[in-house]
Amino acid sequence: MPHGQERIGLLFAALCALNGAFVPAFAKLTTDRGDPFFVATATTLFAGAFAALVLGLRGDLTFLVRRATGPRLFIVGALGTACAFLLFFYGARRTSAIETVLCLQTEPAYSLLLSWMFLGHRPSTWRVMAIGVLLLGIVLAVGGRGVASSPGVWALLITPLCWQVSHLIVLRHLPRISPHVLTGARYVHGGLVLSVLWVASGGVVTMPAPADLVPLLPLVALQGVILSYVGTLLWYQAITRLDLARSTAIVVPSIPLLSLGASFVLLGEVPTAYQWSGLLLTAAGVSAFVMAPHVDGPTPVGAAEVADEHLHQAM
């Protein structure tokens, strides 16, 4: 690969990590100002509108409704965005931004389990040990406040499972769909699902008052278009110029640590000694996981996409 392309790839990877670091803090900021269901729906609609515009300009919008791809892309959007965003923003409202980013680090554990159960990828001993380290870090950081009594923590711990199941569908049933179509489907279909559910549940009644809605909408738009959609594109720009393992190793462990600065700047949150220890253990565990060799078969489902989902979303 030309040296210039490699440098551009490193720049995209750095921007990807920086973008992802602001996701938990922004989620906390927006859900403190509005109902989590409304924030999840509005965020996805902004991202979906932008995604539809991009797909339309590229002539790929029809992929979302074709008989061969539409139904499966709809399921991916419903699981990977609608369900995940509901859990994510619900959890962010009830926890700190630091706890939010820590809880999302459970994704490699789900990746390991699902890839073993459904794809037959036997995990290496090193990866199993890495999962143990990152789970220990999460327990150390959030266990002291009483996880059993915190529904927000549990919602965040479950959130990556939605992402991983959507990855599994993509790998098994949509292997030839381009990344920008998959990304667009996530937000377009996810936005439609959340809109219907929000209206059906009487969400209009829970909308913020006009005085609160006006300053909230620009934050939600930024959260949807930049932190969600553009964040995903930054990730794909990085992995097309660097190898997948290298991009993942740069981005994934960086996000929990960089998020400390974002949480302090936006929210004034300062980690406790337990949270510092948990963050360091979690970053070490994720680093070991993405760098570890696998025993057989391709990389476990979603292992390379962990950074992508932490951005949107991941979000």
Q: Which residue ranges of the chain lie beneath pLDDT 50?
A: 148, 296-315
Domain layout of the chain by residue ranges? 3-311
CB contact set of 311 (below 8 Å; sequence gap of 6+) = 16, 19, 20, 23, 227, 228, 231, 232, 234, 235
The pair of three-digit structure tokens given for residue 216, joined into one six-digit string: 């909230």
- Residue 119 is predicted with a pLDDT of 67
Neighbours of 211 (CB within 10 A): 8
Amino acid 270: pLDDT: 85
Q: Please state, in angstroms and rounded to a whole number, the distance separating the CA atoms of residues 137 and 143.
A: 10
C-alpha to C-alpha distances, 202 to 45, 78, 228, nearest whole angstrom: 18, 20, 26
Per-residue confidence (pLDDT) for residue 309, from 0 to 100: 42
Give me the pLDDT at residue 311, please: 39
Per-residue pLDDT, 194: 96
- Do 117 and 294 meet the contact criterion of CB atoms below 8 Å apart? no
DSSP calls for 209-263: PHHHHHHHHHHHHHIIIIIIIIHHHHHHHHHTTS-HHHHHHHHHHHHHHHHHHHH
Q: Is 129 helix (H, G, I), strand (E, B) or coil?
A: helix
Residue 243 is predicted with a pLDDT of 58
Planar angle of CA 304, 27, 308, nearest 5 degrees: 10
Residue 62 confidence (pLDDT): 92
Give the CA angle between residues 50, 38, 111 to the nearest 5°.
70
C-alpha 147/C-alpha 133 separation (Å) is 18
pLDDT digits (tens, 9 = 90+) for 277-309: 887 888 788 777 767 665 544 444 444 444 344
Confidence at residue 304, expressed as pLDDT on a 0 to 100 scale = 41
Angle 210-222/23-31 helices, nearest 10 degrees? 170
**Contact between residue 131 and residue 289 where contact means Cβ atoms under 8 Å apart:** yes
pLDDT of res. 293: 64
Residue whose entry in the numeric block shows the structure tokens 């004034």: 268
Contact 298, 122 (CB under 8 A): no
Produce one character per residue of 4-18: b if its CB has 16 or more CB atoms within 10 Å, e if not.
eeeebbbebbbbbbb
Cβ neighbors of 82 (< 8 A, separation 6 or more) are 44, 189, 190, 193, 194, 197
